[in-house]
Structure 1
Amino acid sequence: MSESLIRGKAWGPADRSGGPLDDVLGGARRALPGLVVERLQVTRPGDDDNVYFLRVGSGTGYVQVDSGPLGQAPFTVEGVTRTDTSDPAGALAAFCREFGGCGDL
């Protein structure tokens, strides 16, 4: 990724959490061209690293998503509003709302 990172380490389409979050992020990438995903880098192995930051292009605004271990539910999507859901489709819908819509999704 050529964009500068703001919150963590680059999390590309080939990076996998192992859970339904992978499908949520895949759907977000298809719906939001230019989506950049970063995963929180922690300093201690015991810290929670299930935090991701999403932004479109080089924009400074971002949406944060927290998941359970290994990309499992529940999901918390935080931007202008906060959405707590155990439904992957609900998490994707929350991303779309935060970014002003996702086209045909």
Structure 2
Amino acid sequence: MVGATEVTPNIEPFLCGNNFDLGEDGGLKVDDHMHTSLSDIYAAGDICTASWQPSPMWQQMRLWTQARQMGWYAAKCMAAATLGYSIDMDFSFELFAHVTFFNYKVVLPGKYHTWG
């Protein structure tokens, strides 16, 4: 049996005098280039809420694999912005898939849950 719990974004350390737009779940809202509502501030992983129109086969689950993918993509977006380029969202955000659990291969492709 495999069980999972939700992750609640811990944004309190980042609010000190900052007025971020927040998602319904309490995360910092990010656009499709991982920008927050504050200029030149990016967020990725558990702390953020994806506020773009997602692919029909992707949803934010706040798992370590998504946090890593968001971090890589945020870094690419920051580098591109520094160079004056714009990049497209990569395939990581087209299909939800997660593999982990103590050397057992558990693959969860697409929207598999019943709550949404």
TM-score normalised to the size of structure 2?
A: 0.28
Q: Which has the higher contact order (CA 8 A, sep 6+)?
A: 1
